[in-house]
Amino acid sequence: MEIPERINLNEIESECWNLLVHGCLKGKEPFHTFVLATNSESGVDLRTVVLRKVDLINRLIFFHTDIRSQKVNQLRNTNQPGILFYDPARRIQLRMKSEVQFHSDDETANQIWKETRISARKYYLSGKSPGDILENSFDSLPDHLHGFDPSEEESESGRENFLAISLKITQMDWLFLCSQGHKRAIYNYKENGFVGNWINP
């Protein structure tokens, strides 16, 4: 991100969303993944997930997961899950708060599942839930899927475990590390637009 002499809060906000779109499309970009923070019964929990889709109009970011995974219950019990992106080359951190929406059985989920490659569908075919104890490390998938993809027909049995999750961004905290002085801005989103302020880094 180029920081012009007279830096503008609105331009930074829109550049952040451009970087998210870019990260979503390019697997090697640091914004291709993010850290999602939730509350668990034993404290805060964190994990990396892949940024699958960005909806600029509605300020939504999407990721996919197994409906049986622990994060799903935790998301139900977390007020405003946290999101963290960091781009070391651009020296930008984005820290966000969000509201969750689950897409298990709606048009959004059906469409995304239809577009999901067989090789990715395979991981929804485990007979075990994420986090379950295994007898050995190969026990996650049926034997015939070790090193092989399922047929399209078999892959469909993973559909019931597939969940798309959208996170509606309610706040974005932008931090730019700069040798001439770090910069930080906070954006609070409203129904129509946002209020942005500079804050002390």
Ligand X SMILES: Cc1cc2nc3c(=O)[nH]c(=O)nc-3n(C[C@H](O)[C@H](O)[C@H](O)COP(=O)(O)O)c2cc1C
Helix (H) or strand (E) holding 110: helix 107-115
Q: Which span (43-51, 81-89, 178-186, 192-200) binds ligand X, by CB under 6 A? A: 43-51
**Footprint of ligand X on 131-150 (CB under 6 A):** 131
Q: Which span (69-77, 95-103, 139-147, 185-193) binds ligand X, by CB under 6 A? A: 69-77
Whether 135 and 68 have beta carbons less than 8 Å apart is answered as no
Q: Which span (10-18, 67-75, 150-158, 171-179) binds ligand X, by CB under 6 A? A: 67-75
Cβ proximity to ligand X, 65 vs 166, nearer residue: 65
Q: Which CA distances in Å does 174 have to 9, 18, 69, 141?
A: 10, 14, 30, 41
Report helix, strand or coil for 144.
helix
Indicate whether 129 belongs to the interface with ligand X (CB under 6 A): no
182: which residues sit within 8 A by CB, 6+ positions away? Answer: 175, 176, 201
Tell the smallest beta-carbon distance from residue 170 to ligand X (Å).
Answer: 21
Cβ proximity to ligand X, 15 vs 130, nearer residue: 130
